[in-house]
Structure 1
Amino acid sequence: MLFQLSLDVDAHIASTPGSRETAVGGVTRGRLGPGDTVTWRAWHLGVRWRMTSRVETEGWDEPRTFTDRQVRGPFRAFAHVHTFVPTTAGTLMIDEVTLASPLLAALSERVVLVPYLRWLLRRRADLLVEAAERPRPPLSTG
Structure 2
Amino acid sequence: MTTIKLITKINAPIQLVFDLNRNIDIHKLSTSKSKEIAMDGVTSGLINKGETVTWRGKHFGFYLKHKSVIPEMEHPNYFVDEMLEVHFKKFRHHHCFVQEGLNTIVTDTIEYQTPFWIFGKIFDQLILKNYLTRFIKERNNYIKKVAENQ
TM over 0.5: yes
Runs of 4 or more consecutive aligned structure 1 residues displaced over 6 Å after TM superposition: none
Is 1:28 equivalent to 2:39 in the alignment? no
Residue in 2 that maps onto 1:13: 28
Distance 2:67 2:46 in 1: 16
Distance 1:105 1:133 in 2: 38
Distance 1:15 1:69 in 2: 19
Distance 1:106 1:89 in 2: 41
Distance 1:108 1:127 in 2: 27
Residue in 1 that maps onto 2:99: 86
Structure 1 unmatched ranges of 5 or more: 136-142
Is 1:116 equivalent to 2:149 in the alignment? no
Distance 1:53 1:20 in 2: 17
Residue in 2 that maps onto 1:42: 57
Give the one of 99, 111, 126 matched to 2:141.
126
Q: TM-score, normalised by structure 2?
A: 0.84
- Shift of residue 112, structure 1, vs aligned partner: 0.6
Give the one of 97, 102, 115 matched to 2:110.
97
Distance 1:83 1:110 in 2: 26
Give the one of 80, 90, 93 matched to 1:77.
90
Distance 1:91 1:4 in 2: 12
> Aligned pairs, how many?
133
Distance 1:48 1:62 in 2: 33
Distance 2:17 2:53 in 1: 19
Q: TM-score, normalised by structure 1?
A: 0.89
- Shift of residue 66, structure 1, vs aligned partner: 0.6
Give the aligned residue type for 1:97: I
Residue in 1 that maps onto 2:81: 68
Distance 2:125 2:82 in 1: 20
Greater relative CO (CA pairs within 8 A, separation 6+):
2
Cα RMSD of the aligned pairs, angstroms, is 1.2
